[in-house]
Amino acid sequence: MKVPEFQYQSPQQQKRAYSKEHSEMCRKIGVDAADPSSVVSTTVTGGCDKVDGEDLFLPPLNFAMVDNGVFRSGFPDSANFSFLQTLGLRSVICMCPEPYPETNMEFLKANGIKLYQFGIEGYKEPFVNIPEDTIREALKVILDVRNHPVLIHCKRGKHRTGCVVGCLRKLQKWCLTSVFDEYQRFAASKARVADQRFMELFDVSSLKH
């Protein structure tokens, strides 16, 4: 049985697709389309916000749409579960090595979501060690559209998630400048030279269809 192929997009195509799909989603869930990580400032009650009596949903830290059916974020907690239900997820990719929290596992089981865990230790520079084989295995899950919609996350949605997404962008034939710009947008002042060097040297040839 042939696996449906992930459709590669240029930065321009991805931006147009992102704008169309994400702006529609944002109108429903109350997220600012210009900044996917921003949320209407309100009081959280049981995972949903209340604005003028209407329910709004709270995304995880650093949430954004990567491409059609692919999302990224920091580690979700129970306050984010109602939001995640709106995505209709089939899979979650966790890049943290620690045992997945019981409340999160219960949420995944209740919603028929499969967990893929590719644990990478969250070292700080200069002791950063990014196992290439682990990133490659995570990308294989992402490239199989039968796992979509899929959420990729680590603790903060910056470094480990950023490396996975950056390597995906190389598969999509993004230039390194665009790859690094996206990485730095999420990592901000915490951007790591080691992460960017890893993405630059990562060989995508074995993953190409």
- Is 154 among the residues known to form the active site? yes
Total domain count for the chain? 1
Q: What are the pLDDT digits (tens) for 21-47?
A: 444 444 443 333 334 343 332 333 334
Residue 84 lies in a domain: yes
- Say how far apart CA 36 and CA 17 lie, in whole Å: 14
Residue 37 lies in a domain: no
Residue 4 lies in a domain: no
For the segment 57-83, the average pLDDT, to the nearest whole number, is: 94
What CATH number is given to the structural domain containing 107? 3.90.190.10
Residue 186 lies in a domain: yes
Order the strands of the 64-67 sheet from edge to edge: 64-67, 70-73, 150-153, 91-94, 114-117
Q: What are the pLDDT digits (tens) for 134-180?
A: 999 999 999 999 999 999 999 989 899 999 999 999 999 999 999 99
Structural domain that includes position 157: 11-31+45-207
Residue 2 lies in a domain: no
For the segment 107-116, the average pLDDT, to the nearest whole number, is: 97
Confidence category of residue 3, pLDDT binned at 50, 70, 90: very low
Residue 54 lies in a domain: yes
Residue 97 lies in a domain: yes
For the segment 82-110, the average pLDDT, to the nearest whole number, is: 95
Give this prediction's pTM.
Answer: 0.75
* Identified catalytic residue from 26, 94, 96, 154: 154
Burial, 188: exposed, middle or buried (Cβ in 10 Å; 0-12, 13-18, 19+)?
exposed
Residue 5 lies in a domain: no
